[in-house]
Amino acid sequence: SQTIHQWPATLVQPVGSPLSLECTVEGTSNPNLYWYRQAAGRGLQLLFYSVGIGQISSEVPQNLSASRPQDRQFILSSKKLLLSDSGFYLCAWSVSLGADTQYFGPGTRLTVL
């Protein structure tokens, strides 16, 4: 069966510090991968998605970036965090891009102070 992992589970970082969140998927090949942010009381905001190694599409311009160095690894990064970057970050995967279920990871709670 497929599983998706995210780490760290929680993170507290000062403003201006760098960020690296990691997501890995097991049990499937060539998954589509997604990064979402969920702010308190709000819906899911898609940040990036990837259909393959090295292929990244950005949905929302901001100081975050994503990379996919391996087939089942998706990384969310920032060079300098802002207070507004605080939130719950979710990684998800799907078999196909389109009318297909997205399965979510456990999430990373990021607090920027």
SS3 call for 64: strand
Does residue 61 belong to the site contacting other proteins (CB under 8 A)?
no
Rounded to whole angstroms, the Cα distance separating 83 from 32 reads: 29
Report yes or no: 53 and 70 within 8 Å, Cβ to Cβ.
Answer: yes
Does residue 99 belong to the site contacting other proteins (CB under 8 A)?
yes
Q: Which of 49, 87, 93, 112 binds other proteins (CB under 8 A)?
A: 49
Please say which residue, 15 or 39, places its beta carbon nearer to other proteins.
39
Does residue 26 belong to the site contacting other proteins (CB under 8 A)?
no
Q: Which of 11, 28, 46, 73 binds other proteins (CB under 8 A)?
A: 46
Rounded to whole angstroms, the Cα distance separating 76 from 67 reads: 7
SS3 call for 85: helix
Binding site residues, other proteins, CB under 8 A: 6, 41-44, 46, 49, 59, 90, 97-107, 109
